[in-house]
Structure 1
């Protein structure tokens, strides 16, 4: 079963202001990705740019709304995702607990209901 590990962090904390801390965090994330890959569970991993560089598009009210930045007004922002394929929720939880962002933010675990492979939707 596929799960998405969504990493969240506070963009305004000291981690982003200290070059050594940023380098250490990047090294930890690279090592974590390598561990997932070596275990054969990594499907994909992406790191997102800062929320300041994002644009949110919405048509919920019936009127097109284009907003600079993220839609959610929160202290923590989505920083990246890992898609993993594991046997069950307990395995996903075990991998999430090892993710470096649990030390400076949080990791949200979500099952992935469907995905596309070569243009075909698979459940």
Structure 2
């Protein structure tokens, strides 16, 4: 079998990633922040690229903005982001000892999982 150099590099990198997954269980649930080894790699990349110390424990990997920063919109208010609801979510995070430094609001899908019919 013949592989191009970039294909071989991609395959090697994929195996390096799989090796960072505990038990190599690719179909199982991972830690809620994401796989520790991958967060370590991301933090090292930020340091290398930006010269900014990044702590892997401060990195949260998600499949999108909605699961990362939940906020709730109500049909009765025209699907607007209510400041009181946002404050409620921030206060709940603070009570858990979370120091919120950024909010991610997906402007392409403000209604989250709600479908309009």
Q: Same fold (TM over 0.5)?
A: no
Superposition TM-score tier, normalisation by shorter sequence: 0.3 to 0.5
What TM-score comes out, normalization by structure 2 length? 0.33
Larger radius of gyration: 2
Where is the helix percentage greater, Structure 1 or Structure 2?
2
Q: TM-score, normalised on structure 1? A: 0.32
